[in-house]
Amino acid sequence: MDNCLFCKIISGEIPAHKIYEDDETLAFLDIGPVSEGHTLIIPKEHATDLTAGSEESALAIMQTIKEIAPKITEALGATGYNLGMNNGRDAGQDVFHTHMHLMPRYENDERKFVKSFPDNQFLAQIKSKIAQKLTN
Ligand code: 5GP
Ligand code: ZN
């Protein structure tokens, strides 16, 4: 899709802190994390939301989550994580390319869903901690 932000991240036209990629999926850090290590997992196949996409791509994002969630939590010292998906404008969806939010959680975490605005250097540090686990 020509005008899709996440398709442009897949193609590399727009930079992102990518932490995992395979034939069907891509995972990268959310630019406005609600928790440290907040990651978006997307299918490479463009579809506006879960319902519009194929069954294969829906399964593929869950497989990727199974693979990367324990590594992200271990890398960052998290003790759990939330998964969330906004489907449709009234559900809070802003980017119309299917994506799952993975939000690591920490001891005494207040579990707020409020965006923060870290600088690029901080996101790069988080990405590199996770990358070390994923290459092991
Ligand atoms: P939604 O509200 O559609 O479920 O979530 C979209 C998410 O994409 C938001 O959490 C937002 O912070 C994130 N986001 C928006 N633009 C960018 C971007 O250019 N790069 C990255 N990495 N994340 C983005
Ligand atoms: Zn797209």
CATH value at residue 77: 3.30.428.10
3-state secondary structure of 116: coil
pLDDT band at residue 16 under the 50/70/90 scheme:
very high
81, with CB counted inside 10 A (0-12, 13-18, 19+), is: buried
CB neighbour list of residue 135: distance below 8 Å, 6 or more residues apart: none
**pLDDT over 90 (residue 113):** no
- pTM for this predicted structure: 0.94
- When computed from its CA atoms, the radius of gyration of the chain, rounded to whole angstroms, is 14
Query: Which entry of 17, 38, 99, 101 is annotated as an active-site residue?
Result: 99
Range of the domain at 100: 5-134
33 Cα to the center of ligand 1, angstroms? 9
Atom of ligand 1 nearest to the CA of 14: 19
For the chain, the domain total comes to: 1
Q: For the segment 31-81, what is each residue's pLDDT rounded down to a tens digit?
A: 999 999 999 999 999 999 999 999 999 999 999 999 999 999 999 999 999
Residue 38 designated active-site: no
